[in-house]
Structure formats: structure tokens, C-alpha cells
Amino acid sequence: MSERTLSIIKPDAVERNVTGAILKMIQDEGLKVVAMKMIHMTKEQAQGFYAVHRERPFFDSLTDFMCSGPVVVSVLEGDGAIARYRKLMGATNPENADEGTIRKQFALDVEKNSVHGSDGVETAAVEISYFFNRLEMVG
């Protein structure tokens, strides 16, 4: 079934100029980009995005990191896009990420792990609408 998922190329990856290399992996997987933009979040915007993690010990550090520089947010579409993108991203901690995954290739550590992808249908809908309105999405 065709799905949409939210992708973020995080500040560590944008800063190292590997946005294009990551987008190539996404496109080679057959996922279609139906919306995309570069933004630099405020602390409040990062806190809003990661609100589900607000009780976690790393919340402050994570939200500082996510607003430390620009990110590239996009909406990816395809059959089973949510699970397929999670698989392509690899494990949260790059030490545990499989060969061939984005995080294995690019992540620096468990926090600066280069990419975000929605983890379910409901979260994808909430996360997409956090960054994009209907007019900004193709199709």
C-alpha cells in the first residue's frame, strides 16, 4: 500500500555536505520525494517536533542538536514507505546499524545519526503536517 513518511536529513549530515549522497540512497531505494525544503529550526520548533521524547534524559541535548544548523525535510512516498525508509536508515545507534544503511555510512553517534524517519502511520501523518501543508506536496 502506498504510504508517505517524513524524512529529516539532520544538521550533522547537512553540515558535512552529504545531503545529496543521502538523497541518492533514498532515490535508489525507489522512494519518491513528493515534498522537500531546507529549514533551520528554532529550539521551540525542535522541542515541538520531539515532544514525545520530552521526558527522556537526552531531550535537551537532542533539541539543541536539531536546531544547531539547517536540516532538509522531505516527504517520501512509495509502497510500504515507512518501514522501507526505517530499514534504509538503519539502527538508531550507528554501532548497531547494518551495512548499506544511511546511518552505518554517515552517522557520527547515537544522537548525531544523520537522519530521521517516521515510525508509524499515525506519527507520519502528524510529522508531515508539522512541516508541510497540502500545497507544498505534489500529488
What CA–CA distance (Å, rounded) separates 46 from 24?
26
Phi, psi of 39 (to 5 degrees): -140, 160
Residue 116 annotated among the catalytic residues of the structure:
yes
Nearer to ligand GDP, 35 or 115 (CB): 115
127 CA to centre of own chain:
10
HSE-CB for 10 with a 13 A CA cutoff: 23
Per annotation, catalytic residue among 116, 117, 124, 127: 116
Nearer to ligand GDP, 100 or 136 (CB): 100
- 16 in a known ligand binding site: no
Which residue is listed with cell 508517505?
4
Instruction: Point out which residues bind ligand GDP (CB under 6 A).
Output: 58, 61-62, 92, 110-111, 113, 116, 119
Binding residues for ATP: 10, 58, 86, 92, 103, 113
Q: Which residues are catalytic?
A: 116
